[in-house]
Amino acid sequence: MKRIFIAVKVVAGNTLLKMVSSLKGKLSDDIIRWTNIDNIHITLAFPGNTQDEKIDGIDELLKVKCSEFNKFEVLMRGSGVFKSFSDPRIIWAGFEKSEELTKLASSIQEGLRDIGVELEERPFNPHLTLARIKHLSDKEAFERLISQYQNTDIQVVPVNEVILYESILKPTGPVYKPLKIYPI
């Protein structure tokens, strides 16, 4: 049994690195667990705990699905929070709407369901999880800070491969181990 997910790896560019560094500096008094910048990715599907036998089927499915797409790019743009500014849990960086990215995620998710892999029923919302919030001392100042980046073009992300990852949970944070890489 492995805890797996399917994603597009994102290599942080200068603007994203500066944004995260600025946020970390200005929020240093708060209790926030920052994502390791080497682990950032766009999750296309999250099967979670999966039997090893099923992973072979997922591997075959991803070979086929990824071969049906051409390379493309998406624009990382803006930031925000999940849940709400009154009860923020996650700081994220977002993406401009991308028909190609949505089609890729939908194709993979539908294929997974067709082979009996259970997935959560929620709309695809491409984002990077930058941090998980445990406690904020000043939510109003936090909202002003995050809102500064709301309409910022951060970087262009090439989508030229999809990765099947194993997520290994450790006390220091998750370790994402690539199991297979599928060219687009």
Segments making up each domain of the chain, as ranges: 2-183
> Tens of pLDDT along 61-74?
999 999 999 999 99
The string of DSSP letters for 48-89 reads EEE-HHHHHHHHHHHHHHHHTS--EEEEEEEEEEEE-SSSEE
Return mean pLDDT, the chain: 96
Residue 121 clears pLDDT 90, i.e. is over it: no
- Is residue 127 among the annotated active site residues? yes
- Residue 48: beta bridge partners? 4
Q: How far apart are CA 16 and CA 19, in angstroms?
A: 5
Among the listed residues 69, 127, 133, 182, the single catalytic one is 127
- Is residue 135 among the annotated active site residues? no
* pLDDT of 111: 97
> Tens of pLDDT along 129-170?
999 999 999 999 999 999 999 999 999 999 999 999 999 999
Q: Which fold has domain 2-183?
A: Cyclic Phosphodiesterase; Chain: A, (3.90.1140)
Residue in 134, 150, 152, 153 with CA at minimum distance from that of residue 27: 134
Among the listed residues 15, 39, 41, 180, the single catalytic one is 41
